Amino acid sequence: MENYLKKFRFHLRLTGVSAISRRYFVMNAFDGALTALGVIVGAWTSGPVQPRIIIGAGLGVSLAMGISGFSGTYFVERAERLRKLEELEKSLLLDLDNSVHVKAQKTAMIWAALVDALSPSIAAVTAIVPFVFAHYGLISINEAVIISLILILLVLFMIGVYLGKISRERVIISGIRIMIIGIITAAIIILLGNI
């Protein structure tokens, strides 16, 4: 197992996929959180909220974003990495079919696709967990909505903190900045829902 992890890390370093994966993670976790926010606030402004509907819609959105993220990223990364391999083969005048470069590029494709698929799904599923508790009568529907919104804002705040660390800015300010986008989004949905 340790040998496999070393090889995996080496492949990530060789391909430079870590920076791309960070971007995919942040963008898609952000998308997942805001999409869940849209589902929950949109349902709340439309009338009585039923936990089953939020759970079904949330899982459907999570699954769709996950499948879309994995397949879209895999094919984009595959096309880009195959082109780079072809260019490398031409410049070296070698066939690299069984080389470490080909194996590393395949690892990079799968890793980037997994990150792209899982990050929005995890963010969206996190937001619907309170509705599972509401479905089983452990908390009220209003408590589920409030807890869910708090969780979404926390996810957005953590994304901002992470971005602050990457950019070496003040992490709290960066977290608040991203969280405000969620608050503004919720406010717009509420305003539109009351028209």
CA-wise closest residue to 65 among 133, 18, 148, 128: 128
Are 131 and 144 contacting, i.e. CB atoms less than 8 angstroms apart? yes
Phi, psi (5° rounding) for residue 86?
-60, -45
- Other beta carbons within 10 angstroms of residue 157's beta carbon come to 20
Q: For residue 106, what pLDDT is reported?
A: 82
Q: What mean pLDDT is reported for the chain?
A: 87
92 token code pair: 């070296």
Mean pLDDT confidence for 15-19:
79
pTM above 0.75, yes or no: yes
Mean pLDDT confidence for 23-38:
90
Report the share of the chain in percent with pLDDT over 70.
Answer: 92
pLDDT at residue 88 above 70?
no
Q: For residue 103, what pLDDT is reported?
A: 79
The C-alpha atoms of residue 20 and residue 9 are separated, in whole angstroms, by 15
DSSP letter assigned to residue 168: T
Among 3-17, 119-133, 168-182, which is the least confidently predicted range? 3-17
159 token code pair: 């994304």
Give, in order, the Cα–Cα distances in Å from 62 to each of 116, 126, 132: 12, 10, 15
DSSP letter assigned to residue 97: T
The C-alpha atoms of residue 169 and residue 187 are separated, in whole angstroms, by 27
Sequence letter at residue 152: I
Give, in order, the Cα–Cα distances in Å from 126 to each of 15, 114, 132: 31, 18, 11
Phi, psi (5° rounding) for residue 115?
-60, -45
Mean pLDDT confidence for 68-77:
88
* Position 92 confidence tier, pLDDT thresholds 50, 70, 90: low
DSSP letter assigned to residue 94: -
When mean pLDDT is compared over 47-51, 82-86, 185-189, the highest value belongs to: 185-189
User: What pLDDT, in 10s, does the model give residues 108-154?
Assistant: 888 888 898 899 989 999 999 999 999 999 999 999 999 999 999 99
pLDDT at residue 96 above 70?
no
